[in-house]
A and B are shown apart, each in its own frame.
Chain A
Amino acid sequence: MPAVRFESVSKTYRTPRGDFRALQDVSFDIEAGEFFGLLGPNGAGKTTLISILAGLARASSGRVTVQGHDVITDYVAARKALGIVPQELVFDPFFSVRETLRIQSGYFGVRGNEAWIDELLECLGLADKAGANMRQLSGGMKRRVLVAQALVHRPPVIVLDEPTAGVDVELRQTLWAFVARLNREGRTVLLTTHYLEEAEALCGRIAMLKQGRVVALDRTANLLAGTAHQMLRFKTHQTLPPALAARARVTGRIVQLAARGAGEVEALLAALRAGGVEAEDLEIGRADLEDVFLEIMQGAPAAAATEALA
C-alpha cells in the first residue's frame, strides 16, 4: 500500500475571470519510506495538491488516500497519519513554544507527550526557547516551531511545503539532518522546494508539475541521466551572438549552455570565439537538477511529456 496515492486529481477554482484549472488529472503514488520531491514553478499547483492532501482544500474530482485512508471519507485516520509543515509562517501569538506543541499534540489525542516534545525541541535547536512566547521568536525560529508542530503526533507521512524558504544555512542543515533521520527511521517524506540542489541531494524520486499537470515523474538519478550530459559555464561582460543567446541561461554575468557530448562542446566554443566573446572562468560540468528542471519546463508540451513517462 502506498503512503500517499493521488488518483486523477483535478481542481478548478471559480474566479471572476472564469474557471482556473489549478490541477488537471494528477496521478502518482508515493511509496512508504520514500523521500519524494514535488517540484514546479510558482503557480504550477504544488501547494494546491498538498492542500488537497491535507484537507485544506477539496479536489473537484479524483481521490487522494494516505496509507489507504481517503482524505475526505476517512479523514480522521488520514490526518492522523499526516504531518504538514505549511508554507506560510503562521503562529498563535497567545502561547509559548511548549504550550503550542502541547496543544497541537492534544488535538491528535496524544497525551503524556513531553518526552517527544523535549526531543523535538532539542533536535530543532529550540530547547532554550521552550518558554518563549511565539511573538518573541525570529522568523527562522518560528519556522522550526512549525516543523515541530507538524511532527508532534509522530506522523508516518511528513509533508514539507517550501520549508527552507527564507531560512538561514544553519537551520537548513539542522532541518535536513533531522528530516533525513526521520526518513531513515521509516517515515515517508514529501517535499516541495525551490532549492533544486536540496531536492537533488535528498529526494530519491521526483515529480514535476507544470500548469497543473505532471510533466515528469522518475527517480532523481534517471532524470539527471536523461538530460544534456554537459554544461558549459563561464562569465562574460559581452552580449552573446543571437544563435547562442537563444539557448543560453544567463544569471547576471554567468552564462550556462547545455551540450551533448564533446563535439557539441567544441562547436559551442568555436561559436563563442567566432562571436568574439571573451569567456572567463570557463568550466565544463555535469548537468544538475536545475538544468533538467529548466529543460522540462521550457520543453515539450505538458501532455506529451506525461505520456512519454507513463
Chain B
Amino acid sequence: MSGPFAGAAPLLRKEVLRFWKVGFQTVAAPVLTALLYLLIFGHVLEEHVQVFGQVGYTAFLIPGLVMMSVLQNAFANSSSSLIQSKVTGNIVFLLVTPLSHWAWFAAYVGAAVLRGLMVGVGVLAVTAWLAPLGWTAPGWTLVFMLLGAAMMGALGLVAGLWAEKFDQIATFQNFIVMPMTFLAGVFYSVETLPPFWRAVSHLNPFFYMVDGFRYGFFGVSDTSPWVSLAVVAASFAAVALLALSLLRSGYKLRS
C-alpha cells in the first residue's frame, strides 16, 4: 500500500498485538471491574431507582458501564502505548520510518477502538443476562461505541504525545477522563439532576456518548440521538484535528 496510509496496517497490527499479549490486564481486568460495579450498585439501588419511567436500574446501568469501559480503555490504549515507547526510547523505531502522520493516527486510534470494542463487548457479554436490555436500535449502539472509542483513542494519542512521564498520563486519566465519564450519566439519568447540574452535564461531550449509546438499547434517552451524534462527531473531529496537527509537526517527538 502506498499513499498517506502506507505502513498503517503493520503499525495497527503491532499495536493490537501489544495489548493482546497482556490481554488479561488490558481486556479481562476491565470486564471484571465493570461486573463488580454492576453487581454492587445494581444490588443496592435496583429497588430504589426507576429511570425513563419503565427501565429498571440494573438495565439502565449496564449500557452506562459498557460505554464507560469502552471510553476508558480506548484512552488507556493509545496513551499508555505512546508514553511507554517515549519513556523507553523505542519510539525511535517508528520515527525513522516513512510513516506519515495519517498512518500514525489511523494505527493508534484503530488499535484503541479495537481494544475499546473488545472490552465493551466483554462487559456486555457478562452483564447482559442480568437485566432486560431491549436492544431497540443496535445500529445506534454500534455507532456510538465506535465513535466514542475513536474520540477517546485520539484523546489518548494527544495525551501520550504531550506527556513526558507516566504520572502525567495518570493525572490526565484521574483528573479529566475519570470525572468526565463519571459525570456523564453512567450511574444516573442527568434528567434527575437539579437544573444547574443538568445544564453543566450537557456541556460534557461524554454525556452524549453514554446517552446516545443507551438510546440504542431502550429507544429512550435524555437527548435526541441525532443531537448526541452531532456532538460526538464534532468532538471526535476536533480531537482528531489536534492529534493530526501534533503528529504532523513532530510535537515532542522530533526536536
Contacts and interface: CB of A to CB of B under 8 A. Distances in A.
B255 A75 contact: no
A269 interface: no
Interface string B187-214: 0000000000000000000000000000
B88 interface: yes
Interface in B15-55: 17-18, 21-22
Given A90-B90, A90-B92, A104-B93, A58 B250 contact: yes
Contact of A107 (B10, B17, B21, B89): B10
A103 B8 CA distance: 11
A121 to B, nearest CB: 17
B89 A88 contact: yes
A7 to B, nearest CB: 19
B255 A91 contact: no
B94 interface: yes
A56 B21 contact: no
A178 interface: no
Contacts of B10: 103, 105-107
B38 to A, nearest CB: 31
Nearest to A56: B95
Main secondary structure of the interface of B (DSSP, over half): loop
**Which of the listed residues A93, A99, A107 has the most CB atoms from chain B within 10 Å of its own CB?**
A107
Interface string A18-41: 000000000000000000000000
Nearest to A77: B98
A54 B255 CA distance: 12
A95 interface: yes
Contacts, number: 80
Interface in B85-124: 85, 88-90, 92-100
A51 B89 contact: no
A9 interface: no
Interface residues of B, number: 29
A176 interface: no
Interface stretch (A78-86, A181-189, A200-208): A78-86
Interface string A54-67: 11111000000000
A103 B88 contact: no
A168 interface: no
Contacts of B255: 13, 51, 56-58
B1 interface: yes
Contacts of A105: 10
A80 to B, nearest CB: 5
- Chain A interface: which size bin? 20 to 34
A55 B88 contact: no
Given A90-B90, A90-B92, A107-B97, A55 B254 contact: yes
A149 B96 CA distance: 11
B98 A56 contact: no
B18 A56 contact: no
Nearest to A54: B96
A134 to B, nearest CB: 9
B98 A108 contact: yes
Given A58-B250, A107-B10, A92 B90 contact: yes
Nearest to B103: A107
B14 interface: yes
Interface in B193-242: none
B13 interface: yes
A103 B92 contact: no
Contact of B93 (A13, A58, A92): A92
Interface string A200-241: 000000000000000000000000000000000000000000
Contacts of B7: 106-109
B96 A91 contact: no
Nearest to A58: B254
A76 interface: yes
A108 B18 contact: no
Given A84-B92, A99-B17, A107-B94, 19 more contacts: A54-B95, A55-B96, A55-B254, A56-B255, A57-B254, A58-B255, A75-B98, A77-B98, A79-B97, A90-B88, A92-B85, A92-B90, A94-B22, A95-B17, A105-B10, A107-B7, A107-B97, A107-B99, A149-B93
Interface of B: 1-2, 6-7, 9-11, 13-14, 17-18, 21-22, 85, 88-90, 92-100, 250, 254-255
Ranked nearest first, the 3 interchain pairs of A and B with the lowest CB-CB distance are A106-B10, A90-B89, A107-B97
